[in-house]
Amino acid sequence: MSETGTGRPHGVGHAAATENVEYRIAHLRDRLAAGELGELGVRAEVRAGAVVVTGTVPSTECRATLLRTVREELTGISVHMDVVVAETSSPDHAEDLS
């Protein structure tokens, strides 16, 4: 096996880094479930070397709280946010069903 500059066999550092990311994602999930965002359908998973956070939240305040929590838990990791705010207000005009 070839060695990296860390003195570990090649690939071991990557495996440890991946485990660390998975651990941090699990901690993020636990924190979201236990906090005020517990009922939200938000997912976080590793895709193509980055963490992707997806889902729908009921308000811009919830989205801001989610973003802050993700930043705190996943500092130093590439994160892509695909979180949508649900439109909960009544329509201001009738829908044309022609």
Span 25-38, pLDDT tens digits: 999 988 888 876 66
Q: Is the pLDDT of residue 46 over 70?
A: yes
0.85 surpassed by pTM: no
DSSP string, the chain: --B-TTSSBTTHHHHHHHHHHHHHHHHHHHHHHHSTTTTS--EEEEETTEEEEEEEESSHHHHHHHHHHHHHHSTTS-EEEEEEE---SPPSS-----
Domain count, the chain: 1
Structural domain of 23: 12-85
Q: CATH number for the domain including 16?
A: 3.30.1340.30
Asked if the structure places residue 96 within a domain, the reply is no
